[in-house]
Amino acid sequence: MTPPVGPVYVPADSSARSIGADDMADALAASAAQAGIRLARNGSRGLFWLEPLVEVRAADGLRYAFGPVTPDDVPALVTAGLLTDPPAVDHPLALGPTEQLPGLQGQQRVTFARVGVIEPTSAEDYLAHGGLVGLRRALSMTPADVVAEVTASGLRGRGGAGFPTGIKWRTVLEAAPAVPDPAQPKFVCINADEGDSGTFADRMLMEGDPFSTLEGMAITAYAVGATEGYVYVRSEYPDSVATLRRAIEIAYAHGWLGERVLGSDLRFDVSVRVGAGAYICGEETSMLSSLEGRRGEVRAKPPLPALEGLFGRPTVVNNLLSVATVPAILAGGAEAYAALGVERSRGTQVFQLAGNIARGGIVETAFGISVTDLVQTWGGGTASGRPIGAVQVGGPLGAYLGADSLDVPMDYEALAAAGGMVGHGGIVVFDDSVDLLAQARFAMEFCSAESCGKCTPCRIGSTRGVEVIDALRAGLDREANLALLEDLCTVMTDGSLCAMGGLTPMPVRSAVARWKQQAAGAVEPP
């Protein structure tokens, strides 16, 4: 028996680790060493129902997948020929070549092209898989042309607001000083405070391909004339912080960051800052306050962060997914990226299937796919096997859609027209045991817990909202309380300083509307 060329891959992604990938790697280490095959830790492919997923690279160049593998499965798998070439195919956990897995085939991976494929902090792997092509091309262009390229790609902010990235960059490029000057710095701040429930794409990208973020930041810095960059990562992601910090060290050692990036005149320094358990710090102005070491309070806009951002200086604030997509846009050209997608939603979105779902994980594909397709075709329906009760799209500030209204396309405008939002691309599935009035209450409770407290509609409105919904749950004065809740939602929507208070009514109203339908018998109650 010839051993495969290897390596044998076991994900070090924190989700994979949360269900035993480390123990499995330990169980596999001795056998791998004996067969003379290197054990490598990659990111996750994002097919979480198959995690922990083992992959073995064979002499034919393909990677063969096995999963989900527990430590107890390892001896039998090895006996069956896991570490032979070609790897065993007649074991119940053998899934065949990874690229042909039904959960991967048909995805359009651009932002996530390297995640799960490479060893995250291997500079060699990064270069071998197209790393730095985008940065090299950017450095050969004028900053204004780089901005124009990103604008032409149609890339919009992946954090949720969907603002065109190129337009934001142009504002910062045109702000003084015209020539980069560390004494009058411009900043690049990357928002990796991924607090929305049902989202984990930033985390997987930081853990699985951290260099793409750093490359994207360097391109951004060159385009707008910035000299310093920060990645703001939430404290709930310790693995992301560690991987990113390690990647930054390596990037400096290779001249990808620091003075004279890739031998050019670009000087750019990057560091990681860690949040401290406040959801609101995902709001861009709150994040800037937190980066300054202060309370994460929201600031009124204007002034725009692009003109008066971090420490009052011109600042690009981009979501991590947006900035990590920039290298691919520069490498492949704006046209190729814009060829994907629909209407004004160009390119791909990294959709995240979460909650009560049979096949949860990442589906990166062009905008325009319907929620039904994502949840049913890709996700396989609920994990519990019961009918879908509701689907929350776009995080805790996104709408609850009923099972009968999932045919809406994932596209910024179409979803907005349907009363929802794409948000950060998270989709949380509930089965029909969901209590929608309880979910509406939770939306208000979450807002009151996480409000920064600066504006009254958010701080007080959410507290009153919990009380009103409690009254509804108790069956008190239904019509009057529904009217009061609607009034409260209007005040929060129109009067809040930021999206926290302004969008909390979205899940509340949609859940309550659905609950009323159920109560009226328009929908079969569970």
Residue 9 or 237 having the CB closest to another protein: 237
Under 8 Å between Cβ of 186 and 225 = yes
- CB neighbours (10 Å) of residue 260? 11
Residue 141 or 513 having the CB closest to another protein: 513
Applying CB under 8 A, does 233 fall inside the site for another protein? no
**Alpha-carbon gap, residue 388 to 404, rounded angstroms:** 9
Tell me the two tokens of residue 92.
């119940």
Residues ≥6 apart with Cβ < 8 Å to 316: 168, 169, 172, 186, 187, 188, 189, 220, 224, 226, 306, 309
Q: Which stretch binds another protein (CB under 8 A): 53-61, 193-201, 211-219, 259-267?
A: 193-201
What is the H or E stretch that residue 341 is in?
strand 341-342
Closest separation between CB of residue 171 and another protein, Å? 22
Tell me which residue of 248, 243, 254, 212 sits closest to 228, measured CA to CA.
248
Under 8 Å between Cβ of 199 and 425 = yes
Residue 37 or 65 having the CB closest to another protein: 65
Closest separation between CB of residue 501 and another protein, Å? 16
Applying CB under 8 A, does 159 fall inside the site for another protein? no
- Which residue, chain included where needed, has tokens 């420490």? 311
Residue 334 or 401 having the CB closest to another protein: 401
Applying CB under 8 A, does 199 fall inside the site for another protein? yes
Residue 6 or 394 having the CB closest to another protein: 394
* CA distances to 159, 215, 475 from 320, in Å: 8, 12, 44
Q: Which of 191, 439, 496, 504 binds another protein (CB under 8 A)?
A: 439
Pseudo-torsion of CA 21, 27, 32, 33, nearest 10°? 120
Q: Which of 31, 51, 222, 505 binds another protein (CB under 8 A)?
A: 51
Q: Which stretch binds another protein (CB under 8 A): 10-18, 26-34, 80-88, 154-162?
A: 10-18
**Alpha-carbon gap, residue 202 to 236, rounded angstroms:** 12
Question: Binding-site residue total for another protein (CB under 8 A)?
Answer: 62
Closest separation between CB of residue 361 and another protein, Å? 5
Applying CB under 8 A, does 198 fall inside the site for another protein? yes
- The DSSP bridge partners found for residue 97 are 64
Residues ≥6 apart with Cβ < 8 Å to 448: 459, 462, 463, 465, 466
**Alpha-carbon gap, residue 223 to 329, rounded angstroms:** 14
Applying CB under 8 A, does 263 fall inside the site for another protein? no
Tell me which residue of 372, 356, 349, 401 sits closest to 506, measured CA to CA.
401
- Give the residue ranges of DSSP H helices in 410-477: 412-417, 436-450, 456-473
Applying CB under 8 A, does 465 fall inside the site for another protein? no
Task: Print the binding letters for residues 316-355 with another protein: x by CB under 8 A, - otherwise.
Answer: ------------------------------------xxxx
**Alpha-carbon gap, residue 148 to 164, rounded angstroms:** 12
Residue 233 or 414 having the CB closest to another protein: 233
**Alpha-carbon gap, residue 122 to 118, rounded angstroms:** 8
What is the H or E stretch that residue 393 is in?
strand 388-393
Residue 125 or 207 having the CB closest to another protein: 207
Closest separation between CB of residue 81 and another protein, Å? 29
Q: Which stretch binds another protein (CB under 8 A): 135-143, 154-162, 243-251, 269-277?
A: 269-277
Closest separation between CB of residue 436 and another protein, Å? 12
Applying CB under 8 A, does 293 fall inside the site for another protein? yes
Applying CB under 8 A, does 282 fall inside the site for another protein? no
What is the H or E stretch that residue 35 is in?
helix 21-35
- Which residue, chain included where needed, has tokens 């309880």? 438
Applying CB under 8 A, does 197 fall inside the site for another protein? yes
Residue 84 or 456 having the CB closest to another protein: 456
Residue 191 or 352 having the CB closest to another protein: 352
Applying CB under 8 A, does 195 fall inside the site for another protein? yes
Binding residues for another protein, rule: CB under 8 A, are 14-15, 17-19, 48-49, 51, 194-200, 202-203, 235-238, 271, 273-279, 290-297, 311, 352-357, 360-361, 383-384, 392, 396, 426, 428-431, 434, 439, 442, 446, 449-450, 452
